Structures are given as structure tokens and as C-alpha cells.
Amino acid sequence: TCGHKANIMKITDGLFLECFYEVAKEFPELKADDVIVDDLCMKLVTRPDLFDVVVMTNLQGDIVSDLCAGLVGGLGFAPSANIGDHICIFEAVHGTAPDIAGKNIANPTALLLSGLTMLRHLGFMESAATIENSLLYTLEQGIHTGDFGDKSIPSVNTTQFAEAVIANFGKKPKQGEKPSFPNKEKTPTNFKLDKNPMLVSAEMENEHIIGVDLFIESIEQPELIAKKCERHAGVKFKLINISNRGTQVWPTGSIYTNLVNQYNVRFESLDDEALTQQDVLGLYISMSGNFKICSSELLNKWGSKKAYSLAQGQ
Amino acid sequence: TCGHKANIMKITDGLFLECFYEVAKEFPELKADDVIVDDLCMKLVTRPDLFDVVVMTNLQGDIVSDLCAGLVGGLGFAPSANIGDHICIFEAVHGTAPDIAGKNIANPTALLLSGLTMLRHLGFMESAATIENSLLYTLEQGIHTGDFGDKSIPSVNTTQFAEAVIANFGKKPKQGEKPSFPNKEKTPTNFKLDKNPMLVSAEMENEHIIGVDLFIESIEQPELIAKKCERHAGVKFKLINISNRGTQVWPTGSIYTNLVNQYNVRFESLDDEALTQQDVLGLYISMSGNFKICSSELLNKWGSKKAYSLAQGQ
């Protein structure tokens, strides 16, 4: 399942969703579907069993992973693995918790589970199964640090919890026992790069400039700004749209929209022909005579496909 | 409580959080605190009682409100109100659900609750209490549409549910009975604007340009790009930082970072003096001789405060 906000974040999440389905084609044996992140969060609290693997951008994955950690009992139980081509990082998702540092009261479960993921990644399948079964057995015994578990049973400290896990090596939990697969051979890597790998997109060649968004500062009304912009548009551009805080204020718009002194002015090619950077530069220079330009953004097409979202109302 | 991602989204959410505490000062009788949205989601599923009112940006509020809707039984129970100076909108948070349109099976609770909020906003306190008590009584009776409730009791359709609520007018629920406040007088508004209201920030006068981020396309290695950029920097700018997908690749960086053909190049004022738009334009023109500039972003200072975040590694 791909979790995304592609209905709103059309460029970033839209591309992410598109890539998801592109890659999914290579794995026809896996079921691929997607869900809007709002809906995902609602379903995770009502029907968490609906989901198996969720692929997300960092921004939303951060939020949803903490939500899921909450569902399984808190950050003390959430391991993580970052798998790269050359470097892997295995860590608990919780932070360093400086407020309890040195007090010997942390719950080591998340770090243990992260360690198990590392052992499996390295091929130590047998050791991982032994430790995981022992951990589950220990949890079943009701042994717990202060942050979770049955409050009627006294809690243990971090060292005692770890000692209990070690003492239980070889024991099997009643529920969720992990099978012990044979160890796998490790492939030694001493791969060394001499320059950064460059991932060149296949679509680059087809890309052409079709317009530009200019973010300007002004305390004037939209009608007056439009009049000035139309003069700057010259023979290459047409003024398409002016918006303020994401809301269209020209050519149509509500008189009740509160304006701030930051407008987005969208120009597109007058004849829908590809533009050059020189054309955009000409417009930029002309506009800068009248307005402070805070930011600019090229509008590109990849082949016949717009690589930008339409403005609200466009 | 302000929910935010100010630790990562330093400009947008950082400003939001700052404004939150600024406004909170005007209401010393209310307790103001804040929480990172990831942590908020985790706490909402484990300890929802910790929160009363949560103030958020639209992007994250969307996600968290659906999560909360899930906590109270789904979108069928979540009302919403948008309160503006001139216009108010009261609606269920769920969409139009075209897949069940015309089937008379929708759960009208969310829309009823939204209507109650509207009645109270308009001053009809007595009618609101009557309807809400009747709705709660009806729910206590176990009357339910197909989307929720005890599956051993047959569900009713939308019309039957509404009829039950009407039939129960005057009844009081065992739990959560709403007191009936006297109706309030309504202030008639026929306020009419002749132009958009303009909110001018008080900090505008102190703003000055201190640098610019240029987003360029290149398939060259960072070292080579830096060499070219330093030549373009001229007598006004110094090259501060080059990053690729948010990761610094110059002046320091890892050889294992995968590069895409989009770099962000940050220039700042050579002598930390304020720059003019003309200075930035000069750099833009010079850089455009070597690179395709996809987007640009002024770096401003408000007084002595940077209005932008430092790049990773800066």
C-alpha cells in the first residue's frame, strides 16, 4: 500500500504515487494499492489489520510510524532499519531520551528488536530467532520496565530486563514463536566509490519550459497587479493567474479573501511553444522593475505532460 | 496545544509555532503548549485524554482530524465548522460518498452534529440542545445505520434513523445530556467590502535580502559545480553550500550520496551587508549562462533574524 497526499501535494506526492505503481509493475506477485494518508490514519486506528506494508514519503512516514508505534504500545517497542546500497542503519525509532539517561530505566525492547533486524540482515538467522523467542518469552512472563505492562507487578530496570532475556535463551514463547532458519552466507563488500553516483532521469530530454511562477511582494490590489503584469508579459508570455496564499484572486476571486503582501503570479507561453531560459530571464528582469521577486519556479512539460499542478481555479 | 513539525519544517511550521505563542500571550487564562505531530499521533492513540484543543496547519490538521474521527468511531461521527469573519461553513468532515448516493444508507450523525454547531453559532441554543439530546438518546437505544453499532441489532436506513431522532425530541440521554441554554440574540451582518482586505506584516520594513538559493539542473559532480559557481559569485556573493535532495554535497559531503540532476546552490552576501534585487538579478543572469535555473528563492533577514533555515551541514 502506498500512503500519500497526492490529491493535494500533486507534484511531490503525485510523482511518488506514480513511481510506486511504476515499480509495482515489476513485482506482479505483490498486490499494490494506495490510500490517502488521512484515510490511512483513520483506518490504522479502526482496522490496523487492513495493512501489511505501507510505502510513504519521509514527512508522512514519520507521522504514521509514530502512530503505529502508539498502536503497539509506544516507542519502546518500535524498531527501525534503514537499508542503503552501501550503508545500513538499525536503530530504535525513539530518540536518545536525555531526560532518563544514566538512570537504568529505559525499555530496551525497541533496540533489541532493531538488533534482531540487523542480525537477520547480516545472515545470523539462528541467533536472531534465539534472542527473539527469549524476548517474547520474557514479555509473556510479565517482566517489564516502568513504561509498560501490568502495574500490579513491580517493574524491573534495564539491566534486570536484559538479564532476564539472557536467562531465557532457549525458551519458546506460547505465542508468535519465531522459526529458526539456518544462517545465510554473508557477502563481504569493500565497494569503494571515487565519485558520487549520478542518477539521471530518463525524462530529461523531453523536458521543456512552458511558463514560470513568480512570487512577488506587493501591497496592491489584484486588479492593479494584473494590469502591470500584463504589460510585462510582452510578446512571449500571457498572464494566467494570480493567487494569494493558494487562493485565486485574479482573473476571478472573492472580495472577502484576506490578502497578504505575497502574491504568486503565473505566466505561461503565449503560443504554448517551448520557452528558453532567456525568455524567462527577460520576464524576470522586466518584472523586477515593478516588484520585489522573492522566488521563482519554472513550469516544465515532460513531453505533453505538465510537470506542475494547475493553480486553484485555473 | 499547538501540533507542528517545526523541528523539520522550520520556515512554515516554525513561523506557525511562533505565532501560536505570540497569540497565546493575549489569553493568559488558557494553558498553551506544543507537541510535534508525530508524537501527537502516538499520544492520541494511547492517551487521547491528554488533549483538549489542538491548533494545526491545514496539511497536518487534515491527517490528525481523520485520525481523531477514527478514534470516535469513524467519519460518520465527525462534524466540522469553518468560522470566518464574513462566511462560516458547517459540514460533516466526510466527503460526498458518491458510491452510496441515493441508496438511503448514509449515517446522518456527522451532518446532524455539524448542524448543531451551526445552530449554536446562530444563537439557537435551545433547539440545538433538544436535537442533540434526542440524537444521543437515539444512539443509546441502539438504533444505528449499517456503518456502525451492534451487528446483532438490525440496522436502519437514513430516513428511519432521522425519524427516530425526531420521534425522540424531548427525551434525555442517560450519558452526556446537554444543558439547554437560553437562545442568544443574533447580530445581523450585512457587511460589504469594496476591495480585498490587505494584511500587512509589521516586519516588512525591517526585511532585507541577505542571499539567494538557486535550484539548478546539472549532471556534473559537486566539486566542478562549486568551481563554476565561485566564478559567478563575483564581488557581492560568496558560495555557501551545495546540496542535492536536501543533503550537503559541498563543501563537505559523502561520496556515497546518490545525486540527481537537481542541485540547490546557496549564495550569501560576501560582507553580510544587505543586497539589492539588482545584485540578485546580476547573479541570476551570470549563473544562467552556465546552468538551467529551475527555481530561485531569496534569503531574507528580518532585523537580525534569519527568515530561512540553515542548509544541512551549514
The residue segments making up the domain with residue B254 are 206-306
Dihedral, CA atoms, B22, B35, B3, A259, nearest 10 degrees? 30
For residue B196, the 8-state DSSP code is -
**Does residue B9 fall inside a structural domain?**
yes
How high does pLDDT run on average in chain B? Answer: 91
Q: For residue range B190-199, list pLDDT tens digits in order.
A: 677 888 988 8
Residue found under cell 559523502: B254
Report for A179-183, A204-208, A280-284, B251-255: range of highest mean pLDDT? A280-284
Interface check for A35 against chain B (CB to CB < 8 A): the answer is: no
| pLDDT for the residue B189 | 67
Q: Which residues of B touch A296 (CB under 8 A)?
A: 295-296
Q: Which residues of A touch B198 (CB under 8 A)?
A: 219, 221, 258-261
| pLDDT for the residue A267 | 97
**Does residue A177 fall inside a structural domain?**
no
Q: Which residues of A touch B86 (CB under 8 A)?
A: 256
Query: Phi and psi of B185, rounded to 5°?
Result: -75, 140
Interface check for A70 against chain B (CB to CB < 8 A): the answer is: yes
- Together in a domain, A224 and A291: yes
- Together in a domain, B237 and B132: no
| pLDDT for the residue A242 | 97
- Please tell me the distance from the alpha carbon of residue A1 to that of residue A3, in angstroms, as a whole number: 6
Judged against a pLDDT cut of 80, whether residue B202 lies above it is answered with: no
- Together in a domain, A288 and A212: yes
- Please tell me the distance from the alpha carbon of residue A37 to that of residue A3, in angstroms, as a whole number: 5
- Together in a domain, A299 and A151: no
Banded pLDDT at B174 (limits 50, 70, 90): very high
**Does residue B59 fall inside a structural domain?**
yes
Least confident of A251-260, B6-15, B150-159: B6-15
- Together in a domain, B11 and B158: yes
| Substitution target from B10, B35, B38 for chain A, most A beta carbons within 10 A | B38
Nearest to A70 among B46, B75, B197 (CB): B46
Least confident of A158-172, A237-251, B175-189: B175-189
**Does residue A93 fall inside a structural domain?**
yes
Chain B, residues 191-220, CB within 8 A of chain A, namely: 193-201, 204, 217, 219
Is-contact A86 A77, C-beta < 8 A?
A: no
The total domain count for chain B is: 2
Query: For residue B300, what is the domain's CATH number?
Result: 3.30.70.1570
Nearest to A258 among B197, B201, B259 (CB): B197
- Please tell me the distance from the alpha carbon of residue B127 to that of residue B158, in angstroms, as a whole number: 21
- Together in a domain, A145 and A42: yes
Determine whether the interchain pair A277/B293 forms a contact, defined as Cβ–Cβ distance below 8 Å.
Answer: yes
Of A114, A146, A167, the domain-final residue: A167
Determine whether the interchain pair A196/B256 forms a contact, defined as Cβ–Cβ distance below 8 Å.
Answer: yes
- Chain B residue nearest residue A285, CA to CA: B281
- Please tell me the distance from the alpha carbon of residue A271 to that of residue B274, in angstroms, as a whole number: 39
| Substitution target from A8, A42, A50 for chain B, most B beta carbons within 10 A | A42
Q: Which residues of A touch B74 (CB under 8 A)?
A: 42, 46
- Together in a domain, B134 and B11: yes
Interface check for A39 against chain B (CB to CB < 8 A): the answer is: yes
Q: Is A201 left (phi over 0), alpha (psi -120 to 50) or beta?
A: beta
What cell does A31 get? 498486490
Q: Which residues of A touch B16 (CB under 8 A)?
A: none
What cell does B171 get? 427525551
- Please tell me the distance from the alpha carbon of residue B301 to that of residue B305, in angstroms, as a whole number: 5
Of B12 and A270, more confident? A270
Is-contact B37 B64, C-beta < 8 A?
A: yes
| pLDDT for the residue B57 | 93
**Using only C-alpha atoms, what is the Rg of chain A?**
28
**Does residue A193 fall inside a structural domain?**
no
Q: Measured between alpha carbons, how far apart are the two ends of chain A, in Å? A: 31
Banded pLDDT at B4 (limits 50, 70, 90): very high
Task: Give the contacts of B132 (CB within 8 A, at least 6 positions apart).
Answer: B113, B116, B178
**Using only C-alpha atoms, what is the Rg of chain B?**
28
Query: For residue A53, what is the domain's CATH number?
Result: 3.40.718.10
Q: For residue range A154-208, list pLDDT tens digits in order.
A: 999 999 999 999 999 999 999 989 888 889 887 666 677 888 988 876 666 688 9
- Together in a domain, B140 and B257: no
**Does residue A113 fall inside a structural domain?**
yes
**Does residue A182 fall inside a structural domain?**
no
Chain A, residues 112-171, CB within 8 A of chain B, namely: none
Of A167, A190, A214, the domain-final residue: A167
- Together in a domain, A155 and A33: yes
Judged against a pLDDT cut of 70, whether residue A35 lies above it is answered with: yes
- Together in a domain, A131 and A231: no
- Together in a domain, B12 and B145: yes
| pLDDT for the residue A207 | 85
| Substitution target from A296, A299, A302, A312 for chain B, most B beta carbons within 10 A | A296
How high does pLDDT run on average in chain A? Answer: 91
For range B77-99, the mean pLDDT = 87
Residue B96, Cβ density class (10 Å: 0-12 exposed, 13-18 middle, ≥19 buried):
exposed
Of A167, A193, A215, the domain-final residue: A167
Is-contact B134 B171, C-beta < 8 A?
A: yes
Least confident of A19-23, A196-200, A288-292: A196-200
Determine whether the interchain pair B46/A74 forms a contact, defined as Cβ–Cβ distance below 8 Å.
Answer: yes
- Together in a domain, B14 and B115: yes
**Does residue B283 fall inside a structural domain?**
yes
Determine whether the interchain pair B249/A196 forms a contact, defined as Cβ–Cβ distance below 8 Å.
Answer: yes
User: How many CA atoms are closer than 13 Å to the CA of A121, on its beta-carbon side?
Assistant: 16
